[in-house]
Structure 1
């Protein structure tokens, strides 16, 4: 499989900044949030219900980070009670194709990954050792 990469690799680029951007985009919650708000603005509670397992605090932090990076826009409506919506910015929309591709890939390969993990864990159990992430 051929992959096109910049001719200079990472030379001349600020690797630390690129790493920060990739860390934001690669956060497990960010991908799910972007996938959920791609078609229309959503309220905080809608996002929380859709992104199963995320805490209110983590959702708040993730939304703030995405807003800080210019990927989402937060709109506050001055009604009683206050109404807040989150939507993708043009920059955020430019990210949807790769994010949706990544999310779709993960969904399509869950069974393969589960099988690989089970096989690996069974092989490791036979050796009597623990993997680094098992402590």
Structure 2
């Protein structure tokens, strides 16, 4: 998965997992990842995760979908910067989130966000879309 897409889905998934029994596992995994990539920020990220968890629980009780989206965007932004600093962290991030989701009963697992690509072409236009790596060689 490309870093931008991963950051988007991971931000949404991290916030969704905050409201589940997999929260502690998610928190520990994300902090460990930060500790490896940006050690000076790990404690700050741990605190931010705790604060976001308190906010998302309140937002969910109040049914504030805009508030939930704001929290997701914040974590997408943070994760995007982390992945930009160390693209090799992508695999570890995917594993942390997959393990946290899998630790929950199937009925309680938050859905995995999906990406939908749409394109419209006219004339002799070309469109190239990919959900993952794409290599194009034209002559």
TM-score by length of 1: 0.31
Q: Hey, which of these two has a bigger chunk of helix by percent? A: 2
TM-score by length of 2: 0.30
Q: Hey, which of these two has a bigger chunk of strand by percent? A: 1
- The structure having more radius of gyration, on CA atoms, is 1
